[in-house]
Amino acid sequence: MNSRLFAIASVLVLPLLFGTNMALLFYPLTDLPGIALFLAPRIAVAVGAWWLLYLLLRDGIKTSSIILLVSAVYYLYAPFSDFIDAHFLRLRYRFVVPGLLLLLSVLILYIVRRKKPAGRGTMLLFYLPPVMLLVATVQYGVKLFITKSSDRVSLAGKREWSPLLNAIPGDIYLLLVDELAGTEALQYYYSIDNHFLDSSLQARGFSIASGYRSNYSWTHFSLASLFNQQYLQVREPESLVYADYLAAAGILKNNKLVELLAQQDFDIYSFSRFPFGSNKPAKHLESEPTVEQTLYAATFEGRISADIGWLFPRGHVNDTTEIHLQVEKRLAYEQWVREGLEGVLRRPVGKRRFVLAHFFYTHNPLIYDSALHRRTALQIIADTSGQVLKHSYAQNLRYANLNILASVDSIRKYTNDKAVVLVIGDHGFRVNTLSPGITANYGAYAAVYLPGRQAALPGPPDAVNLFHWLFSVYGGQAYGPLPVQTIFLKDKP
C-alpha cells in the first residue's frame, strides 16, 4: 500500500484519538472556535510527529504504524484505567502507566528493527485504530441520537404549584452565597463560630432557619432543584460527566419559579454565573472551565496527568500565577454582582421585582483573612489540606459577613423594608466531597425577612421546599412539603 495513504490516515486519525473516549462527541458544538482551538495544536503535533519519524526511519509504513499504535493507546487508556480503578484500585498507579509504556516500547522496537516488508501484523497495527474509531463513532453517534443530554438529568416527577391566592405584595431579593454553611453545621462539624451573622440579621428583623439543609452538594444540581422545588432524576449519580452539568444548567435556566413569577407579572433580574430564565449569566468566573479545559480533561494527556501527576513535585510559579488570575476574576465578578444589585435598587419603582444576586464570598479561593487582608497565593494554594481549609474558611467569614450585611442594608434602604429578602447558601461547606457519609456538605445557611411578620421556617427545612413554604406563608399557596432527602453525587473517575 502507498506510504502516502498511511501518512494521510495517520494525520487524520491521531487528532481524533487524542480526544480519549471521543470527548468531542460529548461536547455540544456550540463553541466551534473553542473546539478548533483545541484541535489545531493536536493536528500540528500529528503532522510534525509523522514527518519527524519519517525523516528518521525513511519508511512511510513503519512511521504510520508507530503513529497509529500510539493513537490506539491514546484511545484505550481511559476505559482501561477506569477498569483497573473500579476493580483493582491499588494497582492503578503501579500497573496502568508502566504496563502501557512497556507494551508500547516493545511493539515500537519490533516495528523499527523489522527489516522484512510489511506483513499481516504490521498491517493489523495500521487497520486496528481506524476500525476502532469507526466503531466508536457509530456507537456514540447512535447513543447521542437516541439519548439527549437532558435525559441524563431530569425532574423527578411533577410537583404542582397551586395558584397564588394572594398576590405577593412586594419585591423579592435572593442573596445566594455559594457554599455559605449554616451556623449550626459549622459549629457542630468544624467548631467554627458564625453566630455574628445570625445575630446581625436577627437585629434587622430576619428569621434564621434552624437546621436548614440543601439536598445536593453541587451547585448546578442544588440550584436546579431549588428553583424547580423538585428533586432531580440523575441517571448515573456516581459517575457524572460534563453532559450532566449541562443538563442541570438547562433545567435551572427554564425553571418553575421563573414561570410562576412571570405569571404574577414580576420583572426578573439575575446576576449569576448560571443561566436563569432569559437573563444571561456572567461570562467568566474562575471555577467555570473553558472549552479547552473541559475537552483536555477527557483526553489522554488530561487523564494521565490526573493519574500520575501526584508522583512529581510541582513548582509554585505557574500555581501562583493561576491563583492571581482566579482572585482577580473573582473580585471582578463580585463587583459586577454588587453593581448590578445596586443598579436595580436605584431604578424607579415600577413592576414588582425578583432579583437573584449570586455571590461567591465563601467559595474557593478564599481571598481574605479575619483582618480583611488579602491572602497570598501561597496561602491559598495551601488550602488543599483539610485542616488548613477549615481555618481559612473561618478567617474568610468576616469578609463574607460584612459584604452580605452591606447588601441587606442597601435593600432595606431602597425598598423601605417592604421587600422579601432571603439569604441562603446553595450547599454546606465542603471539605470532603468524595464520601456520601459527609453530611456536613449539606448543612446550608438560610435566613428570611418577611415584611410585617415574623415566621420561622418549618423544621427540618430544606431547599426543595423553601419557595413552596414562602408562597404558602406570603402568597396563600397550599403547602405540601416533599420528604427531606440528602442526595450524593459523584464525578466519573
Would you kindly state where each structural domain of the chain is located, as residue ranges? 3-146, 151-474
C-alpha to C-alpha distance for 301 and 45, rounded to whole angstroms: 13
Helices marked H in 175-255 — which ranges? Answer: 183-190, 195-203, 219-228, 242-253
Query: Cβ(201)–Cβ(452) under 8 Å?
Result: no
Residue 161: the pLDDT is: 76
Nearest to 483 by CA among 253, 268, 219, 213: 213
DSSP 8-state class, residue 314: -
Q: What is the pLDDT of residues 393-451, one digit of tens each?
A: 999 999 999 999 999 999 999 999 999 999 999 999 988 655 555 678 899 999 999 88
Residue 423: the pLDDT is: 97
The overall average pLDDT reported for the chain is 76
In this structure, what C-alpha cell is assigned to residue 190? 468544624
Between 20 and 175, residue with greater pLDDT: 175
Averaged pLDDT, 477-482:
81
Nearest to 223 by CA among 182, 193, 196, 255: 255
Residue 284: the pLDDT is: 47
Residue 372: how many CB atoms within 10 A of its CB? 12
- Helices 300-308 and 60-87: angle between axes, nearest 10 degrees: 50
Phi first, then psi: what are they for 27, rounded to 5°? -100, 130
C-alpha to C-alpha distance for 186 and 440, rounded to whole angstroms: 8
pLDDT band at 244 (very low <50, low <70, confident <90, very high): confident
* Alpha carbon separation from 226 to 256, 284, 442 (Å, rounded): 10, 23, 13
In this structure, what C-alpha cell is assigned to residue 355? 432579583
Nearest to 211 by CA among 461, 432, 41, 475: 461
Q: Is the peptide bond before 365 cis (omega within 30 degrees of 0)?
A: yes
Phi first, then psi: what are they for 301, rounded to 5°? -60, -45
For 69-162, list the strands marked E by DSSP.
153-155
C-alpha to C-alpha distance for 440 and 187, rounded to whole angstroms: 11
Highest mean pLDDT among 413-422, 473-482, 483-492: 413-422
Q: What is the pLDDT of residues 42-80, one digit of tens each?
A: 666 666 777 777 777 777 667 766 766 666 665 555 555
Between 432 and 85, residue with greater pLDDT: 432
pLDDT band at 15 (very low <50, low <70, confident <90, very high): very low
pLDDT band at 1 (very low <50, low <70, confident <90, very high): very low
Report the percentage of the chain scoring pLDDT > 70.
Answer: 61
Q: What is the pTM of this model?
A: 0.71
Q: Please say if the pLDDT value at position 103 is more than 70.
A: no
Report the percentage of the chain scoring pLDDT > 90.
Answer: 33
Residue 84: the pLDDT is: 56
Q: Please say if the pLDDT value at position 465 is more than 80.
A: yes
- End-to-end CA distance of the chain, in Å? 41
Pairing status of strand 446-449 against strand 207-208: antiparallel
In this structure, what C-alpha cell is assigned to residue 231? 428533586
In this structure, what C-alpha cell is assigned to residue 164? 397564588
Helix (H, G, I), strand (E, B) or coil at 142: helix
The tally of CA atoms less than 13 A away on the side-chain side of residue 436 is 9
In which element (H, E) is residue 326 found? helix 316-346
Q: What is the pLDDT of residues 327-381, one digit of tens each?
A: 888 998 999 999 999 999 999 988 999 999 999 999 989 999 999 999 998 888 8
Residue 123: the pLDDT is: 57
Residue 490: the pLDDT is: 83
Residue 176's DSSP bridge partners are 358, 424
Nearest to 171 by CA among 250, 82, 265: 265
**Range 151-474 classified under CATH 3.40.720.10:** yes
Helix (H, G, I), strand (E, B) or coil at 482: coil
Query: Cβ(75)–Cβ(20) under 8 Å?
Result: yes
The helices-and-strands tally (H runs, E runs) of the chain is 17, 8
Residue 316: the pLDDT is: 40
